[in-house]
Protein backbone atom coordinates (compact mmCIF):
# COMPACT_ATOMS: atom_id res chain seq x y z
CA UNK A 1 0.00 0.00 0.00
CA UNK A 2 2.88 2.38 0.70
CA UNK A 3 4.25 1.98 -2.83
CA UNK A 4 0.80 2.51 -4.32
CA UNK A 5 0.43 5.72 -2.37
CA UNK A 6 3.95 6.79 -3.37
CA UNK A 7 3.42 6.16 -7.08
CA UNK A 8 0.02 7.83 -6.81
CA UNK A 9 1.72 11.00 -5.54
CA UNK A 10 0.26 10.66 -2.05
CA UNK A 11 3.62 11.08 -0.32
CA UNK A 12 2.44 11.82 3.23
CA UNK A 13 0.26 8.71 3.16
CA UNK A 14 3.13 6.68 1.67
CA UNK A 15 5.53 7.95 4.34
CA UNK A 16 3.10 7.15 7.13
CA UNK A 17 2.50 3.59 5.93
CA UNK A 18 6.16 2.96 5.04
CA UNK A 19 7.40 4.34 8.36
CA UNK A 20 5.20 1.95 10.34
CA UNK A 21 6.29 -1.04 8.25
CA UNK A 22 9.94 0.06 8.21
CA UNK A 23 10.09 0.34 12.00
CA UNK A 24 8.71 -3.20 12.12
CA UNK A 25 11.68 -4.35 10.01
CA UNK A 26 10.19 -4.56 6.51
CA UNK A 27 13.16 -4.10 4.12
CA UNK A 28 10.99 -2.94 1.20
CA UNK A 29 9.44 -0.25 3.41
CA UNK A 30 12.91 0.72 4.64
CA UNK A 31 14.04 1.15 1.04
CA UNK A 32 10.96 3.24 0.27
CA UNK A 33 11.76 5.44 3.28
CA UNK A 34 15.28 5.86 1.88
CA UNK A 35 13.93 6.78 -1.54
CA UNK A 36 11.44 9.32 -0.20
CA UNK A 37 14.03 10.92 2.08
CA UNK A 38 16.59 11.07 -0.71
CA UNK A 39 14.10 12.59 -3.16
CA UNK A 40 12.56 14.94 -0.62
CA UNK A 41 9.08 13.42 -0.89
CA UNK A 42 6.88 14.29 2.11
CA UNK A 43 9.90 15.87 3.83
CA UNK A 44 12.97 17.91 2.93
CA UNK A 45 15.76 15.78 1.42
CA UNK A 46 17.88 14.16 4.11
CA UNK A 47 20.59 11.86 2.81
CA UNK A 48 21.95 10.94 6.24
CA UNK A 49 18.54 9.76 7.43
CA UNK A 50 17.94 8.06 4.07
CA UNK A 51 21.12 5.99 4.43
CA UNK A 52 20.11 4.92 7.95
CA UNK A 53 16.94 3.33 6.55
CA UNK A 54 18.80 1.85 3.61
CA UNK A 55 21.41 0.31 5.90
CA UNK A 56 18.67 -1.49 7.85
CA UNK A 57 17.41 -3.14 4.66
CA UNK A 58 20.96 -3.90 3.48
CA UNK A 59 21.86 -5.55 6.77
CA UNK A 60 18.90 -7.88 6.27
CA UNK A 61 20.50 -9.13 3.06
CA UNK A 62 18.41 -7.19 0.53
CA UNK A 63 20.69 -7.17 -2.51
CA UNK A 64 19.22 -3.96 -3.96
CA UNK A 65 19.65 -2.14 -0.67
CA UNK A 66 23.24 -3.38 -0.55
CA UNK A 67 23.82 -2.14 -4.08
CA UNK A 68 22.30 1.24 -3.24
CA UNK A 69 24.56 1.44 -0.17
CA UNK A 70 27.48 1.06 -2.57
CA UNK A 71 26.08 3.86 -4.70
CA UNK A 72 25.71 6.05 -1.61
CA UNK A 73 29.41 5.59 -0.82
CA UNK A 74 30.39 6.14 -4.45
CA UNK A 75 28.43 9.40 -4.59
CA UNK A 76 29.12 10.51 -1.01
CA UNK A 77 25.43 11.02 -0.26
CA UNK A 78 24.64 10.57 3.41
CA UNK A 79 28.03 8.95 3.99
CA UNK A 80 31.60 9.98 3.20
CA UNK A 81 32.81 9.04 -0.29
CA UNK A 82 34.75 5.79 -0.16
CA UNK A 83 35.79 3.52 -3.02
CA UNK A 84 36.61 0.81 -0.47
CA UNK A 85 33.08 0.90 0.97
CA UNK A 86 31.62 1.11 -2.52
CA UNK A 87 33.44 -2.10 -3.46
CA UNK A 88 32.49 -3.79 -0.16
CA UNK A 89 28.79 -3.07 -0.62
CA UNK A 90 28.84 -4.01 -4.31
CA UNK A 91 30.52 -7.30 -3.31
CA UNK A 92 27.84 -8.04 -0.69
CA UNK A 93 25.13 -7.36 -3.24
CA UNK A 94 26.95 -9.38 -5.93
CA UNK A 95 27.22 -12.34 -3.58
CA UNK A 96 23.45 -12.11 -3.11
CA UNK A 97 23.00 -12.54 -6.86
CA UNK A 98 22.46 -8.94 -8.00
CA UNK A 99 23.67 -8.76 -11.64
CA UNK A 100 23.99 -4.97 -11.62
CA UNK A 101 26.28 -5.15 -8.58
CA UNK A 102 28.23 -7.97 -10.23
CA UNK A 103 28.71 -5.80 -13.30
CA UNK A 104 29.77 -2.78 -11.26
CA UNK A 105 32.14 -4.87 -9.13
CA UNK A 106 33.71 -6.24 -12.31
CA UNK A 107 34.25 -2.71 -13.55
CA UNK A 108 35.94 -1.78 -10.27
CA UNK A 109 38.38 -4.66 -10.83
CA UNK A 110 39.20 -3.26 -14.28
CA UNK A 111 40.28 0.05 -12.78
CA UNK A 112 41.51 -1.16 -9.40
CA UNK A 113 39.20 1.22 -7.54
CA UNK A 114 38.47 -0.18 -4.07
CA UNK A 115 39.79 -3.61 -5.07
CA UNK A 116 43.08 -4.83 -6.49
CA UNK A 117 43.30 -4.25 -10.24
CA UNK A 118 42.62 -7.63 -11.84
CA UNK A 119 41.40 -8.42 -15.31
CA UNK A 120 40.76 -11.98 -14.13
CA UNK A 121 38.48 -10.73 -11.34
CA UNK A 122 36.87 -8.24 -13.71
CA UNK A 123 36.15 -10.88 -16.33
CA UNK A 124 34.82 -13.32 -13.73
CA UNK A 125 32.33 -10.87 -12.21
CA UNK A 126 31.27 -9.52 -15.59
CA UNK A 127 30.75 -13.11 -16.79
CA UNK A 128 28.58 -13.87 -13.78
CA UNK A 129 26.43 -10.80 -14.49
CA UNK A 130 26.24 -11.70 -18.18
CA UNK A 131 25.14 -15.24 -17.30
CA UNK A 132 22.13 -13.61 -15.63
CA UNK A 133 21.34 -11.65 -18.78
CA UNK A 134 22.92 -8.29 -17.92
CA UNK A 135 23.65 -6.97 -21.42
CA UNK A 136 26.12 -4.24 -20.40
CA UNK A 137 28.42 -6.93 -18.99
CA UNK A 138 28.40 -8.81 -22.27
CA UNK A 139 29.74 -5.75 -24.08
CA UNK A 140 32.52 -5.27 -21.52
CA UNK A 141 33.48 -8.96 -21.74
CA UNK A 142 33.91 -8.71 -25.50
CA UNK A 143 36.36 -5.86 -25.05
CA UNK A 144 38.33 -7.66 -22.32
CA UNK A 145 38.53 -10.91 -24.29
CA UNK A 146 40.42 -9.13 -27.06
CA UNK A 147 43.18 -8.09 -24.66
CA UNK A 148 43.32 -10.99 -22.19
CA UNK A 149 45.88 -13.82 -22.50
CA UNK A 150 44.26 -17.24 -22.99
CA UNK A 151 45.56 -18.67 -19.69
CA UNK A 152 44.07 -15.75 -17.72
CA UNK A 153 40.83 -16.06 -19.65
CA UNK A 154 40.60 -19.75 -18.72
CA UNK A 155 41.26 -18.92 -15.06
CA UNK A 156 38.59 -16.20 -15.07
CA UNK A 157 36.04 -18.49 -16.73
CA UNK A 158 36.70 -21.19 -14.13
CA UNK A 159 36.30 -18.70 -11.28
CA UNK A 160 32.98 -17.53 -12.71
CA UNK A 161 31.75 -21.09 -13.27
CA UNK A 162 32.76 -22.19 -9.76
CA UNK A 163 31.07 -19.14 -8.26
CA UNK A 164 27.81 -19.74 -10.10
CA UNK A 165 27.81 -23.50 -9.49
CA UNK A 166 28.36 -22.95 -5.76
CA UNK A 167 25.49 -20.45 -5.58
CA UNK A 168 28.00 -17.69 -4.73
CA UNK A 169 29.72 -19.66 -1.95
CA UNK A 170 33.01 -19.95 -3.90
CA UNK A 171 33.51 -16.36 -5.00
CA UNK A 172 36.25 -15.27 -2.62
CA UNK A 173 38.90 -14.08 -5.01
pLDDT digits (tens, 9 = 90+) for 107-166: 999 999 999 999 999 999 999 999 999 999 999 999 999 999 999 999 999 999 999 999
- Alpha-helical runs (H) found in 76-98: 83-95
Identify whether the C-beta of residue 159 lies closer than 8 Å to the C-beta of residue 126: no
pLDDT bracket for residue 5 (50, 70, 90): very high
What pLDDT is recorded for position 172? Answer: 84
Identify whether the C-beta of residue 103 lies closer than 8 Å to the C-beta of residue 129: yes
pLDDT digits (tens, 9 = 90+) for 72-114: 999 999 999 999 999 999 999 999 999 999 999 999 999 999 9
Give the integer Cα–Cα distance in Å for 86 and 20: 29
Amino acid sequence: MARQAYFGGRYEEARSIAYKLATEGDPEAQMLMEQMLKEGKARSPNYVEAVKWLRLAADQGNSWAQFRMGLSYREGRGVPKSVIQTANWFRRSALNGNPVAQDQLGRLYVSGRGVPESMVGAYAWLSIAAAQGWEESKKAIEMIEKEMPKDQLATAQKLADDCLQSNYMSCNW
